[in-house]
């Protein structure tokens, strides 16, 4: 994940009113493509032209909305409060992805010392009114629902892939080899793995030693004495032994189910 913090003027003519804008794209892929940022800046640019405003834009590239502490966002808020300018976002979802976090940020922006106006272009809501604040609460709840549903779909997809013996990321566990690599609909890699017959005896030995009552540390010592290294070519530690046993228990539970 990368963060690019910038502050620049997209319009800057003498006599214009001033505003501060915050732009955020969630993933490094979106940040590299520039598509999400371009769309948001285009909306802000059009708003600035209609309102004859010079806008200082702060950009977070590849930063999740669930990240609570974002220095670039805090800098944008501080700039708006210091200069008394409205803070402009393309959508409330650019501020945050949960209802509680969105409302906390809105309260931070619009209350306290040097309160400023928050302008959300997509929702076209005036957060200074009771009705506006009510609408923001409902819209924030819908934004959180969309984020939660997307997370559930991702988890369900990963569980389905794992049940098929396919990996969804991370290093291969000890004793396994890659036998097939494909991609999903979004172009993300899907790896199918199987037990490495050359290393099966080591796993069987670990399971046997554990069954005999040996501690994880003692098992690691025994495996090291046989001249066997981990998948990373290092000496065995209790943690690596436990990882092997955990994988084996997981596979045994799936077979039993």
CA 213 from centre of chain: 42
State yes or no: pLDDT of 13 exceeds 60.
no
Which among 28-32, 33-37, 55-59, 243-247 has the top mean pLDDT?
Answer: 55-59
**Total domains in the fold of the chain:** 2
Residue bearing the bigger pLDDT, 196 or 11: 196
- Global pTM value: 0.50
Examine residue 158 and state whether it is found in any structural domain, yes or no. Answer: no
The last residue of a domain, from among 120, 152, 184: 152
- Band of residue 73 on the pLDDT scale cut at 50, 70, 90: very high
**pLDDT of the residue at 225:** 92
Handedness of CA 60, 62, 63, 64 (dihedral sign): positive
The last residue of a domain, from among 152, 184, 201: 152
Q: Are residues 24 and 121 in the same domain?
A: yes
Examine residue 231 and state whether it is found in any structural domain, yes or no. Answer: yes
State yes or no: pLDDT of 249 exceeds 80.
no
| Those residues with Cβ within 8 angstroms of residue 184's Cβ, 6 or more apart along the chain or in another chain | 157, 190
- Give the Cα separation of 120 and 133 in Å (integer): 12
The last residue of a domain, from among 118, 152, 186: 152
35-39, 48-52, 150-154, 252-256: which has the minimum mean pLDDT? Answer: 252-256
State yes or no: pLDDT of 31 exceeds 80.
no
- Band of residue 29 on the pLDDT scale cut at 50, 70, 90: low
**pLDDT of the residue at 163:** 57
CATH value at residue 148: 3.40.50.1390
10-14, 22-26, 89-93, 144-148: which has the minimum mean pLDDT? Answer: 10-14
**pLDDT of the residue at 4:** 43
Q: Are residues 25 and 103 in the same domain?
A: yes
- Per-residue pLDDT of 190-212, as tens digits, reads 667 677 888 888 888 999 999 99
Q: Are residues 250 and 128 in the same domain?
A: no
- Band of residue 8 on the pLDDT scale cut at 50, 70, 90: very low
Residue bearing the bigger pLDDT, 47 or 165: 47
Residue 175 region by backbone torsions, left for phi larger than 0, else alpha for psi between -120 and 50, else beta? left
- Give the Cα separation of 60 and 75 in Å (integer): 11
- Band of residue 72 on the pLDDT scale cut at 50, 70, 90: very high
Examine residue 159 and state whether it is found in any structural domain, yes or no. Answer: no
Q: Are residues 10 and 128 in the same domain?
A: yes
Arithmetic mean of pLDDT, 115-119: 86
Handedness of CA 181, 197, 248, 226 (dihedral sign): negative
Over its C-alpha atoms, the chain yields an Rg (Å, rounded) of 26
Q: Are residues 135 and 224 in the same domain?
A: no
Determine the structural domain holding residue 212 and report its residue range.
166-256
Torsion angle of the four alpha carbons 110, 111, 114, 119, in this order, in degrees rounded to the nearest 10: 0
């Amino acid at each position: 994940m990368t963060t690019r913090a910038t502050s620049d003027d997209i319009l800057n003519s003498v006599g214009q009113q001033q505003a501060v804008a915050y732009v955020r794209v969630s993933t490094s892929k979106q940040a590299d493509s520039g598509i999400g940022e371009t769309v948001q800046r285009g909306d802000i640019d059009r708003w600035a032209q209609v309102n004859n405003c010079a806008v200082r834009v702060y950009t977070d590239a590849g930063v999740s909305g669930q990240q609570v502490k974002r220095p670039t966002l805090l800098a944008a808020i501080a700039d708006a409060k210091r200069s008394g300018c409205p803070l402009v976002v393309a959508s409330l979802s650019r501020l945050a992805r949960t209802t509680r976090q969105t409302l906390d940020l809105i309260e931070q922006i619009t209350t306290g010392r040097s309160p400023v106006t928050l302008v959300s272009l997509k929702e076209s809501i005036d957060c200074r009114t009771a009705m506006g604040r009510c609408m923001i609460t409902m819209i924030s709840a819908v934004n959180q629902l969309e984020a939660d549903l997307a997370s559930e779909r991702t988890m369900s997809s990963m569980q389905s892939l794992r049940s098929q013996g396919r990996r969804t990321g991370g290093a291969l566990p000890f004793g396994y080899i890659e036998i097939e690599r494909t991609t999903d609909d979004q172009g993300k890699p899907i790896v199918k793995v199987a037990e490495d017959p050359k290393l099966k005896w080591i796993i069987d030995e670990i399971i046997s030693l554990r069954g005999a009552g040996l501690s994880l540390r003692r098992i690691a010592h025994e495996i090291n004495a046989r001249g066997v290294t981990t998948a990373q070519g290092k000496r065995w530690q209790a943690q690596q032994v436990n990882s092997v046993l955990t994988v084996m228990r997981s596979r045994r539970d799936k077979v039993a189910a």
